[in-house]
Amino acid sequence: MLKKNWLVSVLAVAGLMIGASASAQVYVGATAGQAKWNDDCKGTTKCDTTSTGYKLFGGYNIDKNFAVEASYFSLGKINANGTVGQVSASAEVKGTGFEIAGVAKHDFTEQFGGFAKLGLTRVKADANSVVPGWAHFSQDTTSTQPVLGLGLTYKVSKDIALRGEFESRRVKLGGDKDTVNNFSVGVQYSF
């Protein structure tokens, strides 16, 4: 039964994608860049709040000015070291998630365009800390947060565009919230 439902779902999605691609409304792409976590690193001796992040996305153009976009992203991993008494301790936090956003677009020229997006993201933050010989602490928090973004596109051809963007997301870990800002570049392909 599960295999049958899975097959029907795959065929339905494939049919929608083929129908949508026939009218050049579907696009997919990937970006990679720098994720900067807005963490103050209090009480640490070494703290790195910058990491490499990436995103895989797909969208549907409602018309030439509006689209709906879904994506899976990784915010990378940040690390901190400190001391507890005379013992060195370490901690790391990583973030991943899914999001859906509305995208407003505008073409400045035939090749250059800009966009702004606003949506909701489901972010999972995983934290691990170790005090050797004493304790190991692990925590994960999943929350729904807003995502904001601004970007530019440059059409290399009718179907391929380069994409650069800035995105800002909130990430919750326990009772704390951090802002994570991403600067990324990538490629977008329109069907």
Q: What is the pLDDT of residues 29-85, one digit of tens each?
A: 999 999 999 877 777 778 888 999 999 999 999 999 999 999 999 999 988 888 777
Domain of 69, CATH number, reads 2.40.160.20
Picking from 34, 36, 137, 42, the residue whose alpha carbon sits closest to that of residue 82 is 42
| Any domain includes 11 | no
- Count up the domains in the chain and report the number: 1
| Any domain includes 157 | yes
| Any domain includes 122 | yes
SS3 7: helix
Range of the domain at 155: 26-190
The pLDDT tens digits for 124-151 are: 999 888 887 778 888 899 999 999 999 9
Residue 122 pLDDT > 70: yes
Torsion (CA) 87, 42, 173, 135 in degrees, nearest 10? 10
Alpha carbons 95 and 39: distance in angstroms, whole number: 14
pLDDT band, residue 118 (cuts 50/70/90) = very high
| Any domain includes 5 | no
| Any domain includes 90 | yes
Q: Identify each DSSP E strand in the chain by its residue range.
A: 26-37, 46-48, 50-61, 66-84, 87-107, 112-131, 135-155, 160-173, 176-190
The pLDDT tens digits for 69-105 are: 999 999 999 888 887 777 788 889 899 999 999 999 9
Kindly state the percentage of the chain with pLDDT values over 90.
60
| Any domain includes 4 | no
Q: Does the predicted TM-score (pTM) go above 0.85?
A: no
| Any domain includes 71 | yes
